[in-house]
Structure 1
């Protein structure tokens, strides 16, 4: 008999952004493996590619039952409207879960929004409902680092206690990295909860290695055999990309192109820095349609991921697995003992810079520009590690086994 699982998360199909893409892919894979998945989520808050109709509150997609809250306020408006949006979503999630608590064998709950686990905590305490937390970001540390609340403030201490209670009463907490697991272990040290690592993934049926790097995306940029250094993703303050632009300044006369694809709160600052330095071999582009992602990742010679040290364990740059799926080496600006740092060094599939200096980055890029066989070798290692460890099929199989064990 198939397990019936309720998934609580804010973003879901057709909102394939943030955690929405991962939760949708995971649900599709688990459904194919025989799990009966129902999702309760919020209305979309981001623009949806190629979607010109109202998103229904109740629908079925690839065998997945989807129910959406009818929220008040707007997620992208001022603080009052954001709070109203979050509050009404939480209240409706509570009542939906309460009404359907006997229909499901267990609940999977995400950390976006961070207080969603309060619903499952109440269900556990009052009705004995089993739940498992999928940890994508660690709170209140995430909010502390953003400056939303101060470290050791009353709000931060209350938030820490709430998070600890949610995690400690879960039947299992799923983390996406070894560095993150250490933080969760500390929060649950006095409980009997099981903490497990199931890494994020890339869909191996979508992203595949391209032998010919001179693909449609590279042609759109008007490029041929230049060495392309790609950063594709969000450009926020937590992404320490400035050293890459400083390196580009040192490489002005070389056949090396730096391409930044995406948006974020720090993008305008990076564009200004590039203009101030007159960097004519740096390109900034908006997020590309999902359909173009294979060509974007396949067009480069080396791809960049980054995470400021203070975010180690609090978040994991899962875009790395898409780079590995494309068979490209990874240049990482983050701690060597972080999940991604460990992955790169264990598999010899790229370079890790804990404290990247422009000179150091430039020297390495010059070295590989002159010897591209080394890049190709690291790219092959990257894809091999991906196929062995980070495919959607392998990660969803681990979720399936855990669901069978705990629910």
Structure 2
């Protein structure tokens, strides 16, 4: 047990927000609590994926006339700094600065904090933690989930040479001043290790999946609306998650056009900035084989994954080298195979290649990409896809369950404190 040890987890998203980073850090926080740590979480008010049913389960109580809020997540104190998705750039910037100022005040107000842990993005969260850690004499661990500013530069959203120089300096500062830095994948490790003066600080700790929630289901436990999810012999391909710029949607549309008169159905489930684009393309091409549905509660995800024969993830060129979709683990944990489009040297391909639970399409030539996918799908049966999925399930059970990975975080913090 670790009685008397207190950790402050500082994350831009946490329960009751309904996004992958929140789910990941919910489980990390619970893992530290189960190991006897006192855990406090510093985060924002839900603004990524607000789920009303989750808000009712975890109500936010106003503190200091609404300067911040407090909630309770399974016995863990959560401090929320107000944030909204403003359309105005000035308001977004103001909200961002306000979050950082309040994070410093609330972080310094917490007594006896011995360690701080936070995920990127944003990069500035690491700087705030270093400030709090320095004043409180606490150890600081920074978790690289996405590589910034590389991602912003390659996406084309960041062109200012001065700003790029500042962010690159800030990145190196956070890496080198933190007591430890973790990243999720070997390719991420190779990308950033040269930016460290002391390379021993950098550790690989992968993300994980809650295998109590995500697991293969017996058909008798499936309770989906048969009008929306009919039981038939068609092969069903599914994407469930954020419908945004991190994915490339054109291959999915083209694939559906090629297969519109064959026994294949496509399901796109979620919300995001690219949803209207996908809807317009489906309407424009009269694609009756594509079904676009709203975000579904996390509890129904195992049933949705079980319903589909294959999950698809088509990474956008800008994102493929800098992000690793955590849904890969949940798909594997449910014993389902994947159809993935991404570059040969991207983290997702590097991870999946040796496991043999996914069809990996790595060419950048659009027509070749579509032809390879069509050819792969036409060769498959439900049985062959099930065999692929079993290989992913075996891998998750061995290396990527919640208990295995959370223990790595606990061991890392223990070693720093000892």
1:315 is matched with which residue: 298, 301, 323?
323
| Structure 1 portions without partners, runs of 5+ | none
Relative to structure 1, is the Cα distance of residues 68 and 266 closer, same or farther in structure 2, using a 3 angstrom cutoff?
closer
* TM-score computed with the length of structure 1 as normaliser: 0.92
Relative to structure 1, is the Cα distance of residues 249 and 275 closer, same or farther in structure 2, using a 3 angstrom cutoff?
same
| Structure 2 portions without partners, runs of 5+ | 62-68
> Counterparts of 1:114 and 1:377 in 2: how far apart (Å)?
41
Number of matched residues?
A: 400
Q: CA deviation at 1:48?
A: 2.4
Deviations 1:52-101 (A, max 9, x none): 485122343223222223x4x7333411111111111101111222333x
Q: CA deviation at 1:124?
A: 4.8
Conservation of the 8 A alpha-carbon contact between 2:43 and 2:79: yes
> Counterparts of 2:72 and 2:243 in 1: how far apart (Å)?
34
Match of 1:269 in 2: 277
Comparing 20-29 with 272-281, greater Cα deviation is found at 272-281
Comparing 279-288 with 107-116, greater Cα deviation is found at 107-116
Match of 1:385 in 2: 395
Relative to structure 1, is the Cα distance of residues 123 and 105 closer, same or farther in structure 2, using a 3 angstrom cutoff?
same
Conservation of the 8 A alpha-carbon contact between 1:173 and 1:193: no
> Counterparts of 1:231 and 1:47 in 2: how far apart (Å)?
20
Conservation of the 8 A alpha-carbon contact between 2:151 and 2:318: no
2:188 is matched with which residue: 180, 185, 194?
180
2:376 is matched with which residue: 339, 364, 387?
364
Conservation of the 8 A alpha-carbon contact between 1:305 and 1:319: no
User: Aligned-pair RMSD on alpha carbons?
Assistant: 2.2
Instruction: Determine if the alignment matches structure 1 residue 47 to structure 2 residue 50.
Output: yes
1:23 is matched with which residue: 25, 31, 51?
25
Q: CA deviation at 1:211?
A: 4.5
Conservation of the 8 A alpha-carbon contact between 1:9 and 1:113: no
Instruction: Determine if the alignment matches structure 1 residue 137 to structure 2 residue 137.
Output: no
Instruction: Determine if the alignment matches structure 1 residue 302 to structure 2 residue 310.
Output: yes
Match of 1:342 in 2: 350
Q: CA deviation at 1:140?
A: 1.1
Deviations 1:281-334 (A, max 9, x none): 111111112221111111111111232243234211111111001100011111
Q: CA deviation at 1:128?
A: 4.5
Conservation of the 8 A alpha-carbon contact between 1:306 and 1:317: no
Deviations 1:342-393 (A, max 9, x none): 232211111111126212111111100xx33321111111111111111111
Match of 1:37 in 2: 39
Match of 1:122 in 2: 131
